[in-house]
Amino acid sequence: MPADQGWDGPWYRVRTDRFEASFLPSTGEALDGVCNADVEVRLTADGSRWSATVFTLAEVGRLVERWSRTGEALEGRSFWCSDGLVVREPGIDSKTQVLAGLLDDGEFTQVLQRLHDE
């Protein structure tokens, strides 16, 4: 599926025929183990930009467990973020496949948050 992928400064960019996804993994994190990353997606068809923070189920569990100890997020009793997308599997490739699947299913614009140029 990816036509081209690689590092561009702190961003890991994945280009397909339908979109370019720019992921921001943690420094030194193995790409196949990324469990929590911001992503900006630019659609090829119209140039529109979209964003999400993509978490694995395991990462959500880890966060709420930590918050239960620190008192954050109602002591770990809740989890939310305005542009959150929860996926099952870690890794940039897995997240890219989910983005493509959302486009295929017509759900992409309902799930990701549109970014507007100022």
Number of folded domains that form the chain: 1
pLDDT tens digits for range 66-80: 999 999 999 999 999
Q: Which domain holds residue 49?
A: 4-53+83-115
State mean pLDDT over 23-52.
Answer: 94
* Residue 89 domain-assigned (yes or no): yes
Residue 88 to residues 36, 51, 56: CA-CA distances in angstroms? 12, 19, 5
* Residue 25 domain-assigned (yes or no): yes
* Residue 63 domain-assigned (yes or no): no
* Residue 102 domain-assigned (yes or no): yes
* Residue 70 domain-assigned (yes or no): no
- Residue 78: is it exposed, middle or buried by C-beta count within 10 angstroms (0-12/13-18/19+)? exposed
pTM: 0.89
* Residue 21 domain-assigned (yes or no): yes
* Residue 40 domain-assigned (yes or no): yes
